Amino acid sequence: MNSADYLLWLCRWLTDGAAMCLFGTAWFLLSLVPGGLGSRLGHAWQPRLARLRWLILLATLCALPLHNAILADSWADSWQISSLAMLAGESSIGRAWCWQLAAALLLVLSGHAGQRAGAAPVTALLATALLASLTLSGHAAMNEGWLGVVHQLNDLLHLLAAAAWLGALPLVLQLMRQTGPWRQPAMQALIRFSTAGHALVAVVILTGMGNFYLINGSLLPDGFSAYTILLGLKLLAILGMVLLAVFNRYYLVPRMRDKRSAIPWLIRAVNMQIALCLLALALLACLGTLDPH
């Protein structure tokens, strides 16, 4: 384990988190926020989304040299064009990276194209493509044939459901601060999100169990290892997010109509969910580089 491993973990964490936030924000604006408020929030969030696009591109560009440094066990060869070209063209890691780079470039270009009405659909589509590229290497690509296809599709569904749920949380915070004529449509969007969250959480849990079964061959861990310990911590983080989501949906959100004092509590609860989400993504970045056995 060297510094390149830790930097690659950081790149994976940044890429996963930014891609999920892009997809979650676009999905939320398209599906759950009433039209006028959705346009207003979409315009206000463009600078934030632009920074996320550039962050994804930067992290993606850094990832291939880091893979090269890890495989060569040396920083000296990490930026050699010949070895980078060989890694990109002749390995599953490199081919997956090429698709990821293409999606990252298209995300940046789409942000600079100045699209307005079509911005959210294009962002959602390209973020989906980026998340799909993450399933082309690592544990999701460990199986071959139809089982490999099932594993990758299951992993993509897991990522999309998690992104729709957790990637939208920063926008949820923005909705809770709406006042005046925007308060009522914001309340409507929050209730819709809370309701949709039931299905999203169920999909995240079921596809997560499916991923573990396809990796491990059983729903029970083989024993104690770095992989199982980190996986256990990730499950605890997800459990915390689920409990907070239930508390928000059935206790805090119904009280927002009549008791404005519920809003600060809901903001705290959502911030805690975001913190747990960042922890879970950091653990996911580490798990993706470890041997599950």
CB-based contact 109:115 (threshold 8 Å): no
CA distance 107 to 22: 10
Per-residue pLDDT, averaged over 69-84, amounts to 80
Residue 10 above 90 pLDDT? yes
Whole-prediction pTM = 0.90
Q: Is 120 exposed, middle or buried (0-12, 13-18, 19+ CB in 10 A)?
A: buried
Pair of tokens at residue 157: 């569904």
User: Do residues 116 and 152 make contact, with C-beta atoms less than 8 angstroms apart?
Assistant: no
Q: How many CB atoms lie within 10 A of CB 194?
A: 19
Q: How many CB atoms lie within 10 A of CB 173?
A: 14
CB 56, CB 100: distance < 8 Å: no
pLDDT-wise least confident of 60-69, 82-91, 120-129, 253-262: 253-262
CB 101 within 8 A of CB 84: no
- In this predicted structure, the answer to whether residue 114 has a pLDDT above a threshold of 80 is no
Tell me the mean pLDDT in the region 193-217: 89
**Which pLDDT value is given to residue 88?**
85
Q: What is the pLDDT of residue 104?
A: 95
The chain-wide mean pLDDT, for the chain, equals: 87
Predicted pLDDT of residue 117: 46
Q: Are the C-beta atoms of 234 and 287 separated by less than 8 Å? A: yes
Is 179's pLDDT higher than 50? yes
Mean pLDDT, residues 186-203: 88
Q: How confident is the model at residue 97 (pLDDT cuts 50, 70, 90)?
A: very high
**In this model, does residue 128 exceed pLDDT 80?**
yes
